[in-house]
Structure formats: structure tokens, C-alpha cells
Amino acid sequence: MRKQLMIPLALLMLVTAGCGDKQEEKQDLTAEERTGLYQSAIENARDQEMNESVPVITSGEEALASAVFGLIGVTEEDMDAYAVAVSPVNVKAYGIAAILPAEGREAVVVDGLQAFIDRQKSNFQTYLVDQYAIAEKARLENLEDGTVLMVMCEDSDQVFEQIKTAIEAG
């Protein structure tokens, strides 16, 4: 009788231990792994045309990096890991950013992204009404793992959820 009770208890302990390991693995991603996760999540949520026309910035060494960082109001020192795709042309309200802020820099990242959203709204309010509507629906949230996620594009809710799900799945 005692053996019959021990087997289910042992199985339960194994299952519980397995769940804990998955959580630890997500938290133990290196900056490079997290950046890769962010990049693939963004690219998989977009079509090929957007992937070609608005590249995902994952390094300060990339040609558009300093311009994009200026647009979203952050520096590379503000971020431990990131993937950012922002249209540098002022005819389209478009920006997606997944950023793990550096220690103590979350407010800087959130404020910079919110300022970007506010600027886009202001730029398009009387200029291109359809783009204003896109900027108006932009989403900016902190995910449970510390990622700050901003999505401003057509179908922003769907794109946001797709990227969020990919990041949470790790």
C-alpha cells in the first residue's frame, strides 16, 4: 500500500520540478538570447514587406541605431536587451520595441517610448488622419518578465498579443 502512494507522489514531485525549471530557464536568458527572442518575435509578427522595409535594430553598431534610439528617447546604456523597429520616415506611424531595461532605467525606457507615441500622435493629428488612428491605438506595457513592449502599427492589438505570447513562451 505504501508503494502505491509513493509512486504518484514521486510523479507529482517530478512534474512540479519540471515546471520550476522552465521558469528558471526563462529568467536565465543571456542578453544575446533575449535580444534574439525579441527579434524573432517581432519578425514573426510582421509580414515580409515590413521585415524588409523597417529592419529590427538589435545592436548599436547598426546603421540606423543612433537615429532610432534618438526617436524613442533611449540610449544603449538604458537597455540590457532590445529589438526595435521604428519607421524613420514621418509618413507612417510605425514602431515596435521590446526592451529589457537596464537596472534602474525602466522609467527612462517607458518615458522615452511614451514620448515617441505622443510625438507620433501630434505629428499625424492634422496631417494624416489614418496614421493618427494607428498612433492613437499604440500599446505600451510592462510584461511580467520585465520586458517593456510597445506596438504601434496596423492591427496593433493582434501584433502585440503575438509578440507578447512569443516572449512569454521564451
CA distance 160 to 153: 9
- At 42, list the grid cell: 517581432
**Predicted local confidence at residue 127, as pLDDT:** 81
> Which candidate, 169, 40, 146, 145, places its Cα nearest to that of 96?
40
pTM for the whole structure: 0.83
| Residue 23 belongs to a domain | no
CA distance 105 to 67: 20
Which residue segment(s) compose the domain that 164 sits in? Answer: 29-169
| Residue 3 belongs to a domain | no
| Residue 73 belongs to a domain | yes
**Predicted local confidence at residue 28, as pLDDT:** 82
| Residue 19 belongs to a domain | no
CA distance 149 to 38: 10
Instruction: Tell me the CB-side half-sphere exposure of residue 72, using CA atoms within 13 A.
Output: 34
| Residue 15 belongs to a domain | no
| Residue 112 belongs to a domain | yes
CA distance 135 to 93: 6
Report how many domains make up the chain: 1
| Residue 13 belongs to a domain | no
| Residue 16 belongs to a domain | no
**Predicted local confidence at residue 27, as pLDDT:** 59
Neighbour count for residue 31 (Cβ, 10 Å): 13
Residue ranges for the chain with pLDDT beneath 70: 1-27
